[in-house]
Amino acid sequence: MLSLYTSLMIRLRNEEKGATAVEYGIMVALIAVVVIVAVSTLGGQLGNLFTDVNYDIKNPPAPTAAATSAP
């Protein structure tokens, strides 16, 4: 009887580990879906932003008179 109880407890403990792995797998899948949706939604806007920043770095505006005058 004790060995039956022991084997049952070992099996239940192992099943909990499997359930935990499944739960982590589901969480990772949901996070991946959120990241994919965010990137696909904002991807074009982020690309344009980086293009604009790149242009501004390569072509800085001309200094103004107020910025170059010394007190």
User: If 0-12 CB within 10 Å is exposed, 13-18 middle and 19+ buried, where does residue 30 land?
Assistant: exposed
Q: Is the pLDDT of residue 3 over 60?
A: yes
> Is 15 part of a structural domain of the chain?
yes
Q: Is the pLDDT of residue 10 over 80?
A: no
Give the count of alpha carbons within 13 A of 14, CB side only: 6
> Is 7 part of a structural domain of the chain?
yes
> Is 27 part of a structural domain of the chain?
yes
Q: What domain range includes position 15?
A: 1-34
Tell me the per-residue pLDDT of 16-58, one tens digit each, with 9 for 90 and over.
666 777 888 899 999 999 999 998 998 888 889 999 999 999 9
Global pTM value: 0.47
Q: Is the pLDDT of residue 12 over 70?
A: no
> Is 2 part of a structural domain of the chain?
yes
Count how many domains the chain has.
1
> Is 44 part of a structural domain of the chain?
no
Distance CA 65, CA 57 (A): 21
